[in-house]
Structure formats: C-alpha cells, structure tokens
Amino acid sequence: MKCYVCLVLVLVGSLLLSAGYGAELTKDVEYGRAGDEPLLLDVSVPEGEGPFPVAILVHGGGWNGGDKANVGFEGKSADISPWFAPLTAAKFTWFSINYRMAPVHRWPACLEDVQTAIRWVKAHARDFKGDPERIALFGHSAGGHLVCLAATVVDESVRVQAVVGYAPVTNHEQDLPVRGGLSLSLQQLLNRPKELTPESLGLLRAISPLNHVRPGLPPFLLVHGDADKTVPLQQSLDFQARLRASGVTCDLITLPGAPHGLLTWDKYLPGYQDQVIAWLLQTLK
C-alpha cells in the first residue's frame, strides 16, 4: 500500500509540473536587518485560496556568492532556477532568500540570516497564503549546509517540518585531506588560514550538521550526484546513516553521473524533481 501511495504521489507531481499553474512573484521583500543592511527575499504566491505548503529556498555559492533570483549567476553552479517552476506548479508558496556572505561577513552571519528568515516566514506565511505549520527548507551546496545546520540546532523558533538538501555540505572534516587544509571558501567564511590547526578543526566540527544529529529532527530528503567533485556523495551517505541511526527519516535520491550544479540534473535522472515533489507532498500532508 505504501509503495502504491508513493507511485500515486509521483504521478500527481508529474501532472502538476506539466499543468503550468500561475503565481504572483514579489521581489525584494525585507525580512530583517543586520545593522543598516536590509535582508531581502523574493516570494511566489500560487493562484487560489490556500493555505499552501511553504518552501524556503537558500542558494549555494560557497558562502561567498549566489543570489536568490540568480542575478549574475544564471547558468552557473549556484543557479537554483530549477527549483522555481516545480514548486510553483505544485502550488507551494516559496520564499527565496539572500543572506550576508563572506568575506565581508564572517561566520555565523549567514546562518543567523537563515534563522531570521525562518522565523519571519513562520510569522508572515499567512500573509502570502502559506501554512506556517507546513514549512520545508531547500538548500544547495553551501545553502544545503545552512539549511541542514539550521534544522539540527536546538531552537524551537526555527523548527520546520521538512528539509531538502541538494548536494549539501554536511561534514567539513571529510575532504580536508583532499584539499590539503581549508578550502578558499572556508578560509574566507571563517577567517582562518588554509593550514589546519586544532582551533580550526574544532570550528569545522562545530559547524558540521553531521555532528548535531539527534532524535526528533524533521524528515530529510537528500539529492546528490554520484559524480560530484565539489561535495562528494559520501557526505550525504554518511549524513543519512547518522540520521537514520538516530531514528530520523532520511531518504536519498542519487543521480548517476550528475555533477555538482543543478542545471543538468534532469539529464542524468529524468523526473527526479517529480520524486522531490512527491516526497514533499507526502511529508507535509
């Protein structure tokens, strides 16, 4: 019966993607301020009465690039445009956020902004026909790191009902030997040298979602290409194992041959977005 329900949900998701439902897009809504700097998001509201399930979208870009609407990043690895149409067609109210980035803003500014956005969306979801009790976080790469970490911290004010991580960074310690120390992105984010020190190692462990897994977390869906050379698939495999060992639901969609960026993923696993929508519909029902 469970497999039959999943099949039905996949078919429903496919129909929704082809239906072309409309939505109203409002750009540059202020969700907070950091000193004198406004924190902005774009919001897409489906046609109809609602309340609709909600998705909060967090772009990647190595904590030092990327944009909520892909301005200046179209066609690049930080391009998250593949998320927009499926969520719109499935009648989600979605919020795509910008956040403060390195090296101008060091850790934990980006995480604090994601947490601020979650609190703001929970408080204002109904203003945009959204259901504050059905919120999913979306994040790719560095954005995947931020949503996975936000979902694992002990803070009820940022608790959500689902997390979808696309090639998320979940263990900053895993690829240290390959990189020979801290990557340039981490150097800029943490204001630390490339050479690994005990202090840097402690910090990397502290900001790795893998090390914050505990029972009672919301369900996770991980989506990852097995040819990803930026964030190895092993990170999602290890994260899934740690979550499941703690009794937390975690499903994984592996895309054979897919690289790190989202734009070509349909080529490697056609219909994977239908699977994501089906998972969300089932999880947020």
Residues designated as active site: 141, 228, 260
Rg over alpha carbons for the chain, rounded to the nearest Å, is 18
Cα(146)–Cα(201) distance, integer angstroms = 19
Alpha carbon of 163 to those of 4, 17, 63, 234, 267: distances in Å?
Answer: 24, 21, 19, 19, 24
Which of 149, 236, 137 is closest to 189 using CA atoms?
149
C-beta separation of 94 from 125 below 8 A = no
**Number of Cα atoms under 13 Å in the Cβ half of residue 75:** 0
SS3 label, residue 192: coil
C-beta separation of 129 from 92 below 8 A = no
Q: Which helix (H) or strand (E) holds 152?
A: helix 142-152
In eight-state DSSP terms, residue 217 is P
- The neighbouring-strand residues paired with 29 are 41
Neighbour count for residue 173 (Cβ, 10 Å): 13
And the tokens for 236? Answer: 């999602």
Cα(94)–Cα(285) distance, integer angstroms = 17
